Chains A and B, each alone.
Chain A
């Protein structure tokens, strides 16, 4: 039977990471120059990892699918980054950040990883400030903080509503500095289409040059995957158009286990969908819930009444009513689920009835329009651009949308996958957020992994694994490239004769996923989803229509390849959701809820990571990593 070794160090929780750092083997400076590391993806995790590895002296080849590393989707993160600095003196500590994150994730993350995340969080802020990142400041010149869902302290650092942008630009600039130093070679407009495994170790990748269509072979001594999440399996999501799951999926098919694929975060504050031409959904930062109050009419009869004509006594501030301690700042899974409930009751507002109000009337009255504009101006501006409505005058309308995937490739404590030499950082791995991610934690994890974990763990691996040099002429490189070529050719052959466009099939997949593998799930729905997804896989491989050829710039061919992988990943997500016979975090099973409609966990039977291993023939094998909580007590999450 296959087992998984998380390689978590022995000893007290707070000493595990420093102990591991002391025990790690080092690579001497003159040897670092001889070793090459591939970093795929240049968002927060990838850019920070590539820059830091380059600074150490390794030779790094960095790859991104966009035209510049500055465009990675991390740039769109709005609200902020958490760190246990306790600057506001409101009682924060490493322990409290650790505990909030564990609890927020509904006790389905690995204790030691989460503690390390909380520990290094403070260093991330110092690092970013040293890079010149212009965080928001108070008049005294100190850093400003605000609060995010799932926390009762103000530990979130921000740069207006563009925190991801500023942190990414900091990491990107550090990366470009290494490009100038020639320790990093940047390969933009490249898509990783496969992983090359030689003698059981990750030794390279096959990429497609998106401008010329050429396939390229790249070899290295280790590969770091930082390719983000797979939220676009739902077609409509807050993710950027090019975000995809292909690189991770190809690693899965080469032997890396895929963990907890069913854990998806549905973010409560997105601009609702308005038409069926829509290609993506836009998020409004959770920070808005610091001052915005969420409500719907008490009575169904009022849903079409303009909000200004609905007096307070006819409004239901349902989050404040149900969760008096956290109010509008309950975690995302709780806020999303409750928005769904009130809309299911017929009390949703807007043209589709699938929206709730996020109202700034009281905040503007109390603090003044200028104070609100100072905090959220660009978000209000963005909302007005998209909807044509002015949120200073009428409440915003919001609805949940797929945002972040907590599942990802399984990694051990040092972020290495089940393929030696393949490291996975940021959203692409599964480890830190459990079944739900708290706000302002994605930026924290991306940068923690990239700046402060991967550079050490890659070194530790290289110091202990003397790998023989391989040339890209090696048989495994050739075989892998041939397989990629055959896959592309098969797709183009079908695509030349098929009738259904890539986007049509993709929208169908999204609909199945939203309906049956979305905000709430039932065993019947999941079984039905698996059947429908299989049919859609068949439709794709017999009837998809793809324009153009493979040896040119061809966006639709790129999307087709990503869709082919999403069609397989979607099936695994549904399978994982079906097997996890409990509710936890973002995975809400209607057959496991309390009488109040809260998620009911089953720690007796499901306190483990579900890691799936690919099988060439037959169904994937489920391997469990038991989650051991030595320092926190598994309790029922309450935000009342």
Chain B
């Protein structure tokens, strides 16, 4: 029903495994501008499979911009040039007919390449495991309205909690820092009264784990915020640093 089509040329990073050498491969394809970026890759892959070649591997799941599974660097930008958008929600209408699009995996020491555009983001899980939770067991709890939480505070906590853990912040940062990811979780839980008793222990453990995973330090460049598909604010990094200092001085 859509008559219009456009041609795009792709330069895609192909890498068979973590230890293999990678290289760019070129492909050309005709696409419908209403396709999402991943649907465009689907079309390219169908052609490759028919030709007996290996398809381009890329991580994806919900294709609704919420699961955080997808992600690649498109024309030098994590998730592409459109602000506040995951690559699964990027549409071909944002590209020009005849354009060459360069597609690469997240590049960071802490995110080893598994294959093509697929990377291992297990380090993020280990940061959460180090302390990114409120320590409560399943079981009887006080009534949910027993502790009042102001709407503004709850909204701010939600803004931080909206992080999808995709790793774009790390990929965009020249230092490959995970500060925006870690800062967002630290901030969410520091704002809510439920997280208060372990506030200091939490931030220390999470920051230490982040360092141990080989992520770089934050030097306030701000590329992470620019690349974040959920527009998580840099303020979260400031909060994390403040929480960390506070924990150093107050011992809790």
Residues of A at the B interface (CB closer than 8 Å) are 48, 51-52, 55, 66-73, 75-76, 85, 87, 123, 125-132, 134-143, 159-160, 162, 165-166, 169, 172-174, 176-177, 179-180, 186, 188, 211, 240-242, 274-275, 277-280, 282-283, 351-352, 381-382, 385-386, 388, 451-452, 455, 501, 503-504, 545, 547-548, 552-553, 555-556
Contact = CB atoms under 8 A, between A and B. Distances in A.
Given A70-B125, A129-B194, A173 B158 contact: no
Contacts, number: 219
A85 B145 CA distance: 10
Interface in B180-227: 188-189, 192, 194-195
Interface stretch (B61-69, B100-108, B235-243, B244-252): B61-69
A71 B69 contact: yes
Interface in B57-77: 57, 59-69
Given A68-B122, A277-B39, A279-B39, A75 B55 contact: no
B134 A553 contact: no
Given A186-B125, A503-B42, A141 B149 contact: yes
B53 A279 contact: no
A85 B146 CA distance: 13
Contact of B65 (A130, A143, A382): A382
Given A137-B149, A277-B35, A382 B64 contact: yes
B69 A76 contact: no
Contacts of A72: 67
Contact of A277 (B32, B60, B162): B32
Given A241-B60, A388-B93, A451 B128 contact: no
Contacts of B46: 501, 503-504
A101 to B, nearest CB: 21
Given A76-B64, A174-B133, A134 B161 contact: yes
Contact of A501 (B50, B121, B140, B150): B50
Contacts of A55: 137-138
B234 interface: no
B129 to A, nearest CB: 4
B34 interface: yes
A277 B139 CA distance: 47
A548 B50 CA distance: 12
Contacts of A123: 140-141
A177 B195 CA distance: 14
Contacts of B55: 547, 555-556
Contact of B42 (A130, A134, A277): A277
B67 to A, nearest CB: 5
A68 B165 contact: yes
Contact of B39 (A85, A162, A278, A547): A278
A451 B138 contact: yes
B131 to A, nearest CB: 8
A67 B194 contact: no
Interface in B63-98: 63-69, 84-85, 89, 91, 93
A282 to B, nearest CB: 5
Contacts of A125: 144
13 contacts: A52-B138, A70-B68, A71-B68, A73-B61, A75-B67, A125-B144, A129-B144, A166-B158, A169-B161, A176-B133, A385-B85, A552-B115, A555-B55
Nearest to B50: A501
B141 A129 contact: yes
Centre residue among A128, A134, A169, A179 by max chain B CB count within 10 A: A134
Interface string B142-158: 11110111110011011
A451 B139 CA distance: 8
B66 A76 contact: yes
Nearest 8 CB-CB pairings of A with B: A141-B148, A173-B133, A126-B141, A52-B138, A176-B129, A129-B144, A134-B158, A134-B157
Nearest to A83: B144
Given A66-B69, A143-B144, A501-B46, A240 B62 contact: yes
Contact of B128 (A173, A545, A548, A556): A173
B62 A73 contact: yes
A177 B129 CA distance: 5
Contacts of B57: 553, 555
A530 to B, nearest CB: 28
A275 B150 contact: no
B121 A67 contact: yes
Nearest to A136: B154
A123 B140 CA distance: 7
B158 A160 contact: yes
A169 B136 CA distance: 14
A67 B122 contact: yes
A275 B120 CA distance: 33
Nearest to B66: A76
Contacts of A451: 138
Contacts of B63: 240-241, 279-280, 282
